[in-house]
């Protein structure tokens, strides 16, 4: 879905993704990084542009490109399955180029997204999910302050046709002040330690 949400802070910017970002995003991917996604890995810029077009057509999906303050493309993330009536949203379809793993990129992006979801959209629940085999992503989600909710069995199809389980996590409105404080403290430490 096309949108005009622009978020910035902590050394990054989240801007609406467009097909103009396809080449830079595709260049950051590799087979291992893409493992666990439900769509085939785009192998060239045209294929990634088609992937972006599909995101832009999906109702309730707000896809972003993640940029450093210097304009460097770092990866992508999305809001999706937004229900204003039910006051819930999910954050996902997230990946970053390997050079941006382990620094402030992920906590900064989630701080901006959670802040917008709770403080601007007024949601009561932000959910996150990952392939249950992806222990690295599950650990990163929990470090953000999200609570594990369980595993949905045979919940997703892989591009090769196999079925996979999905691990679910959430942050609730009542938990947001503590999660925000934890992210702000973590980001303060990361900003003092290193630039990326």
Cα-based torsion angle of the residue sequence 180, 79, 90, 41 in order, rounded to the nearest 10 degrees: -120
Q: Per-residue pLDDT tens for 61-98?
A: 999 999 999 999 999 999 999 999 999 999 999 999 99
Strand partners, 65: 15, 76
Residue 31: closest CA among 158, 167, 126: 158
Q: Per-residue pLDDT tens for 98-139?
A: 999 989 999 999 999 999 999 999 999 999 999 999 999 999
Q: Per-residue pLDDT tens for 138-170?
A: 999 999 999 999 999 999 888 888 899 999 999
Sequence ranges of the domains in the chain:
7-193
Amino acid 195: pLDDT: 47
Q: How far apart are CA 48 and CA 34, in angstroms?
A: 12
What pTM was estimated for this model as a whole?
0.93
Task: Quote the CATH superfamily of domain 7-193.
Answer: Gcn5-related N-acetyltransferase (GNAT) (3.40.630.30)
What is the pairing mode between strands 88-96 and 73-83?
antiparallel
């Amino acid at each position: 879905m096309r949108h005009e949400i622009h978020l910035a802070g902590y050394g990054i910017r989240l801007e609406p993704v467009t097909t103009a970002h396809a080449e830079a995003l595709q260049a950051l991917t590799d087979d291992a990084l893409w493992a666990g996604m439900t769509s085939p890995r785009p192998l060239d810029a045209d294929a990634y542009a088609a992937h972006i077009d599909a995101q832009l057509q999906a109702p309730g999906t707000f896809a972003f490109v993640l940029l450093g303050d210097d304009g460097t493309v770092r990866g992508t993330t999305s809001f999706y399955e937004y229900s204003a009536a039910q006051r819930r949203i999910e954050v996902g379809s997230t990946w970053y180029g390997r050079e941006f793993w382990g620094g402030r990129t992920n906590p900064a992006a989630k701080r901006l997204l959670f802040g917008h979801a709770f403080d601007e959209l007024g949601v009561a629940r932000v959910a996150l999910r990952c392939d249950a085999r992806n222990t690295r992503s599950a650990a990163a989600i929990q470090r953000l302050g999200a609570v594990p909710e369980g595993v949905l069995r045979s919940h997703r199809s892989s591009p090769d046709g196999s079925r996979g389980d999905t691990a679910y996590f959430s942050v609730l409105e009542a938990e947001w002040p503590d999660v925000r404080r934890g992210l702000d403290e973590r980001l303060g430490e990361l900003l003092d330690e290193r630039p990326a």
